[in-house]
Every structure is written in C-alpha cells, then in structure tokens.
Amino acid sequence: MAKNCHDYVMILSLDSAIILTVNGSRGVILLAKKAFQKLFKLILLILVFLVCIYFFLHSSFFNIEKLYTTGTQQITEAEVLSIASIKEGQNIFKVDSKLSTQTIQVHPLVKNVQIIRHLPRTLEIKIVERQIWAIIPFDDYFLCIDDEGIILDKRNKVDFSTNIFINFAKLPAQFNLGQAVEPDGVALIKQIWTSIDKSDQQLISDFYYNEKDEVVIYTINSTEIRYGNKDRVEEKQAFMAEVLKLEQNYVKSGEDVLEYIDLRFKGQPIVKMKE
C-alpha cells in the first residue's frame, strides 16, 4: 500500500512539473511577443520621425534668402554666383557643394572655395583669390602668374617694383588664362625667394630658368649668381646671404669687380672676378 502511495506522489510530481514547464514556455513566448511589439513600435516611431525630419529639411523653411560671397576683390560677386549656379529660393540642403566648388575653381583667379551654410536660410561662398606673384616677359606683353605658376592676366604694362621678374628659356607658343607655366621652375624659384631674407630680396633684379632646368639669379648690381637646380638647396640657401653680403661690401667700397658667383658645385662658392 505504501508503495502505491509513493507511486501516486511520483505521478503527481511529474504532472506538476509538466504543467509548470508548459506554463513557463507560454510565459516566455508572451514576453518575447511583447518585446517584439515594443521594438516594432519603436522602429516605426523612428521611421516616422526620420520621414518628418526629411520633409522638414526639404521644406521652404530652408530656402535660401541671403546669398553672398566673401574674399572677392578681383572677381565680382555676380560673376561668382553665375558660375556657381546657386540662386536664392533654392533649398539650402539641395546645393551640391562639391560640384559648385569645382565649378567656381575653374576661374583662373580663384585659388580655393568654401561653401558655408548658415542655417536656416543663408549661404556664404568664401573665396581665396590667386594673387600676382611674378611677371614673365612673353612676345610683346607680360604674363602675370601666381606662386603656383598659374597665368592670371596678360598685360602690356606692369609694375616691376612689386613683383618678381622671371625669364624662361622654354615657353610654349601660346598660353591661356588659368594655364600653368613651368610649375617646377616656379616652385624652385619660389623656394629660393622665400629663403632670402626680406632685406636682401630688394637686391635681386630677376631670375632666369634655363634649358637645363637651372636657376640663374641676377642682382641689381648685375652680378650673376649661378644657383643651379634643386640639388643641395639647403646648402645653397646658407651661401646666398654670404654672397649678397660680399657683393654689397664691394659696392660700398666703390668696386664693381664681381662677374659671377657659382653655387652649382659642392663646397665653397666659385667667385669669378671681372678682368
């Protein structure tokens, strides 16, 4: 009899375990279902929010009311805006900044462009213009270039007191505005020029870039400084101040004895005196 009672207890315990297991599974399913419903509602809410934001950003609230340029001195604002193809009334977020920037930079006088959005309805086009840095004689006129060798203008008359004068042995038959002239030569001459002390720059008359891609410098006292190519630039830069000082000492003493000074070879400069 005790055995039977034990069996009944075992059966009852087993049945209870099954019931608990089934109820537990249903509880997990219900919790998962509720979690999914909450997640779905959250995702739906986020999508609705994003759609609202999209339509708001593309609404007339962000239509450009003020459009202006900064940094322009040689170029007019109207010229920049016509090139950029940006107009008032256009949505500020629909402006293709990359395309507009590339279009404006085609202008030979433009060096850099930045399009700045001042929300909600103002757009600024910030221009960095190229500046005339050197003058190149060419046929019956002069080419005005910036410090990257880009041709900015062609003129019959120029002011030599404010710009560097460069002669090139090799030049194409014709040029267009915005075209680069001997960029390697211009880069080397710029490096030389910026390494010379400002007080000594006034002693330089002009530069010559020859067929061998070498630079020859002429001083205002007609001394020829054979600088050479871009090799040993630091060493040559150190000698330039000494060379100009040497020439000035002769000038102050009333002597015009220097024919040329050669920096092309390693070691001390070669000084040739006039006979």
Domains of the chain (ranges, CATH numbers): 60-129 (3.10.20.310), 134-273 (3.40.50.11690)
Greatest alpha-carbon span in the chain: 143
- Please work out, in degrees rounded to the nearest 5, the angle formed at the alpha carbon of residue 263 by the alpha carbons of 261 and 267: 115
Tally of CB atoms within 10 A around 102: 11
Tens of pLDDT along the chain (275 residues)? 444 555 544 544 545 555 545 555 666 777 777 888 888 888 988 998 888 888 777 888 999 999 999 999 999 999 999 999 899 999 999 999 999 999 999 999 999 999 999 999 999 999 999 999 999 999 889 999 999 999 999 999 988 788 899 999 999 888 898 999 999 999 999 999 999 999 999 999 999 999 999 999 999 999 999 999 999 999 999 899 999 999 999 888 888 788 999 999 999 999 998 87
Contacts of 257 (CB under 8 A, 6+ apart): 250, 273, 274
| Exposure on the CB side of residue 176, measured as CA atoms within 13 A | 5
Contacts of 57 (CB under 8 A, 6+ apart): 93
Q: What is the pLDDT of residues 80-106, one digit of tens each?
A: 999 998 999 999 999 999 999 999 999
- The pTM for the full model equals 0.75
Peptide bond into 172 cis (omega under 30): no
DSSP annotation of 180 reads B
